[in-house]
Amino acid sequence: MTFFFIFPIFHTLRLSFLDPNTGVFTFNNYFAFFSKDIFYDSFFRTLKLSFFVISFSVILAFPLAYFICFVVKKKFRTLALLILVAPFWTSFTIRAFSWQLILSDKGLVTWLINKLTGYEVKLNFLYTMNASIFGLTLFGVMLITLLLFNSMITIDKRLLEANSDLGGNKFTEIKNIILPLSLPGLIIGSVLTFIIAVGDYAVPTLLGGGFKPVLAQLMLSTIKGTFDLNTAATMAILLVIVIIIACIPLLSLIKQIRFEK
């Protein structure tokens, strides 16, 4: 695994510092990257996309996990969770593509609106960044709900009883008990969602379109189009750096767990 996993990353790191023509060590690839608008833009577009995806996913996933964990009757709990996460096992690409059928200007939604109201509407939603955010958020919601649920289910129900005995309401229950105790799941879920959103290629291509590429799209077109390996390696390493930064909260979490033991 070291051979096929660690070495390749270091090889990419080395490539990113080599001049494409002469093969000498240089920082120019990085300067070139940030001096070209198209690269620079796509870098920040990627970050923006992932940021929105995480925010929406967390906002939606928290009430969902709460619902499955505390509102749904015990008998149906596994079923509810299973319904929500079953599509995990199915092709992400195909699901993203089906959204094209629904959201395109001649898709299901416009057709329905036309049938119901008689108006011809244009959605102008497909092939925008909003569509990418939408597609990835649905995935993030599934992932974060699953991980949050795992944390929430271990919460001692007596804590909740104590809260209401001491005169607390739903708000204090969530703020003082559920939120802090499910934080590990929330953090792991958000980091994993971020990583998937930052590196995904299929959803931005199928839903977001090619005019405003994210980093992954640019990386692929650089490799398959111009064969400029060094530039592509530079992008890959930038992605690695972003991910390492994103993993910092995860590390603090690991420390915390160790202290508790």
Partner 1 sequence: MKKFSLLNNFLYILFATIVSLIYLPILVMIVFSFNSSKYQIMPFRNFTTTWYQRVLTDSQYIEGLSNSLIVSISVSLFATLLAFFCAYSLVNSNFKGKSFLNLFFLTPLVVPLILIGISLRFFLTSKGYEPSLFLVAIGQSIFVMPLAILNLSNRMSQIPKNLEEAAWSLGSSRLRSMFEIVLPSCKFSLIATFILTFTFAFDEFIIAYFLTNFSITLPIKIWTSLVTGFDPAINAIGTIVFLTSLTLGLISQILFLKK
Residue 38's closest CA among 177, 168, 226?
Answer: 226
Among 47, 123, 183, 196, binds partner 1 (CB under 8 A): 196
Token pair in block for residue 193: 């969602």
Q: What is the closest distance, in whole angstroms, from the C-beta atom of residue 92 to partner 1 in the complex? A: 7
Residue 25 DSSP SS3: strand
Amino acid occupying residue 193: T
Chain residues 132-151 in contact with partner 1, contact rule CB under 8 A:
138, 141-142
Among 35, 44, 98, 156, binds partner 1 (CB under 8 A): 98
- φ, ψ of residue 18 in degrees (nearest 5): -100, 140
Counting contacts by CB under 8 A, is residue 64 touching partner 1?
Answer: yes
Among 12, 29, 163, 234, binds partner 1 (CB under 8 A): 12
Which of 78/176 has CB closer to partner 1?
Answer: 78
Residue 38's closest CA among 219, 195, 183?
Answer: 219
Which of 186/200 has CB closer to partner 1?
Answer: 200
Question: Strand pairing partners for 25?
Answer: 18
Which of 38/246 has CB closer to partner 1?
Answer: 246
Counting contacts by CB under 8 A, is residue 206 touching partner 1?
Answer: yes
Counting contacts by CB under 8 A, is residue 180 touching partner 1?
Answer: no
Angle between helices 92-103 and 108-117 (to 10 degrees): 30
Residue 160's closest CA among 29, 71, 32, 56?
Answer: 71
Counting contacts by CB under 8 A, is residue 191 touching partner 1?
Answer: yes
Among 58, 68, 143, 203, binds partner 1 (CB under 8 A): 68
